[in-house]
Structure 1
Amino acid sequence: MNRRAFLKRFFGGALTLLGLSGGTYYYARDIEPGLLSIQQETIKGTNIPQSFNDFTILQFSDTHIGFHYDLDQFEELTKQINQLKPDLIVFTGDLVDEPNQYSWDNRLTDLLGTLNAPYGKYWVYGNHDHGGYGTETIKKVMHSAGFNLLQNSHQAIEINQDRIILAGIDDVMLGRPDLTKTIENTNPELFTILLAHEPDFADITVQYPIEVQLSGHSHGGQVRLPFVGHLYTPIYAEKYVEGKYTFESSNLNLYVSRGIGTTRLPYRFLCKPEIHLFTLKS
């Protein structure tokens, strides 16, 4: 082990031990998971039509309702989203944590239905949506709430005869993603946004005429330590963990959301939950 690796592990271990103290435990379990951050990003593109100048897209992801995140908290989230008055809303997967154990009722559908966006609401499957036999149940809930599923498909968003393309793939882990099929018959010169739950799929996306990929899945690691960073991320979120990434080989911009809820462990530390509000600039 070299000196740098030793110091990283030493400080990481020390901070982990420190994190076991009562105050830090309380903060990570009961305080930070409720400290929602609103990340505002500007996306510029020469192929963004003038009609879409200042068009806003709200992304939320990974609510994991049922695991340390309840419907009262989700109701507050829907209010915060509506206050931002986005033109379009997208959800990038993992609605509830364990679909087969969740107590489904109409309240979740009703709350999703209160979200307002004049140019529509769209979503893609995450691995927890397919898992636990949730595929059809969650599809029905989202449809009843006015969300349009993008499962290896796309939708043209139109203003004054100008268009951009919103596309979405099936979940990488438990679905059958097919990006070629997803953007089949689209004009490659049109500004295209891809919804993909797993961020590491971007290594495939760069091979296609897509300008933006919006992802979640990583939770930003949930627990991040000074000098160490995140301790763990799931498969297909090991390379791209949070924030914005650019690629030398293409014009792709990848944005990875830390998401809303938690999974496996009910903690967040130095990794606040977030939603993204993107503003397009012609």
Structure 2
Amino acid sequence: MKKKLTRRTLLKRTFGSFLTVLGLSSGGYLYANRIEPSLLDIKRQHIKHPLIPKSFNGINIIQFSDTHLGFQYNLDQFKKLVNKINNLQPDIILFTGDLMDEPNKFREIHQLLPMLEKLHAPLGKFCIFGNHDHGGYGSDIYRNIMESTNFTVLLNESTSIKLKDGSSIYLLGIDDAMLGNPDLPLALKNVPDNQFKILLSHAPDLADDAAMYPIQWQISGHSHGGQVKIPFIGALIKPPFAKIYPEGLYSIGDDHQLTLYVNRGIGTTRLPFRFMSTPELTIFTLNSN
């Protein structure tokens, strides 16, 4: 009787075949399994738009995403990430989903809480749901963790970030596209059209819908940048809702009215490998035109 071939087994075999073809084999396996997943690429990106108040010039936002704690990424690594983020002195911190790989099986929440609480941003810490945050009956677990560590959870809702002079921008957050119920009109309710808005959506491919609304920027994760990329072929793993926009910067809409940035995330899922898709921390700096 033939053994059933699972998707994960198929991906492992495919990846192994490519390493063999490339002549990397054991060395490539070690690099993709141990070395690249432990690296960190710090990307810097300017967010420029005339709707950004001048008083927000120079405000720094740090995005981290897709840690998938409990799969390959552990709390010792996460503690170093927290220290790295704090040392960069962000004004705002954004987490764009998938904190734990399987929330209902993660047994170190009591150690995780003080690490998340230690993250410091004077203008606030904000987060949204990813598909893994909902998976395994994890929705309440995730929300309780984030809210108890002073994160504002944006679930189809908005919040304004105000400075002392009264100027403001808006953050919108929508639910995950795979296991949740994203609702852009609800998130935009009572948000003025003439205010600068940043949308947090775990799923990058929802940008095509977001471009039909008065939203200027979208920040996403979920894709892991493909996680494993093969030269001349591209990403081996493209999850649903991250097939069109897998990583980096995009201009979307007929008039390029929406700018999308897709972060490659920190951890791994499905396969304990990263190849040509280094973990990423993104620093955005606001500027008015």
TM-score when normalising by structure 2: 0.91
Q: Contact 1:60–1:90 at 8 Å: present in 2 too? A: yes
Counterpart position of 1:108: 112
**Aligned match for 1:199, one of 197, 200, 204:** 204
Matches of 1:127 and 1:90, distance apart in 2: 17
Counterpart position of 1:234: 239
Counterpart position of 1:46: 50
Gap change, CA 1:255 and 1:16, over 3 Å in 2: farther
Gap change, CA 1:15 and 1:106, over 3 Å in 2: closer
Q: CA deviation at 1:18?
A: 2.9
Counterpart position of 2:169: 164
Runs of 4+ in 1 over 6 A off after TM superposition: none
> Which digits, 9 at most, give the CA deviation of each residue in 1:28-69, with x for residues without a partner?
000000110000001111111011001111100000000010
Matches of 1:16 and 1:143, distance apart in 2: 46
Counterpart position of 1:17: 21
**Aligned match for 1:36, one of 25, 32, 40:** 40
Q: Contact 1:15–1:225 at 8 Å: present in 2 too? A: no
Counterpart position of 1:265: 271
Gap change, CA 1:258 and 1:210, over 3 Å in 2: same
Q: Which amino acid aligns with 1:98?
A: E
Counterpart position of 2:287: 281
Matched, 1:152 2:156: yes
Q: CA deviation at 1:16?
A: 5.6
Please give the secondary structure, in 2, of the residue aligned with 1:72. helix
Matches of 1:248 and 1:139, distance apart in 2: 33
Q: Contact 1:219–1:258 at 8 Å: present in 2 too? A: yes
Please give the secondary structure, in 1, of the residue aligned with 2:52. coil
Matches of 1:136 and 1:187, distance apart in 2: 31
Q: Which amino acid aligns with 1:221?
A: G
TM-score when normalising by structure 1: 0.93
Q: CA deviation at 1:102?
A: 1.3
| Structure 1 gaps, min length 5 | 1-11
Q: Which amino acid aligns with 1:235?
A: P
Matches of 1:130 and 1:204, distance apart in 2: 22
Counterpart position of 1:8: none
Q: CA deviation at 1:84?
A: 0.7
Q: CA deviation at 1:14?
A: 5.2
> Which digits, 9 at most, give the CA deviation of each residue in 1:1-46, with x for residues without a partner?
xxxxxxxxxxx96556336611110000000001100000011111
Matches of 2:245 and 2:61, distance apart in 1: 21
> Which digits, 9 at most, give the CA deviation of each residue in 1:60-91, with x for residues without a partner?
00000000100000000000001110100000
Superposition map of 1:21-100 within 5 A: 21-100=25-104
Counterpart position of 2:6: none
CA RMSD of aligned residues (A): 1.4
Q: CA deviation at 1:105?
A: 2.9
Matches of 2:107 and 2:24, distance apart in 1: 32
Matches of 2:103 and 2:109, distance apart in 1: 12
> Which digits, 9 at most, give the CA deviation of each residue in 1:74-116, with x for residues without a partner?
0000000011101000000000001122114311011000000
Counterpart position of 1:213: 218
| Structure 2 gaps, min length 5 | 1-15
Identity in percent: 52
Q: Contact 1:19–1:25 at 8 Å: present in 2 too? A: no
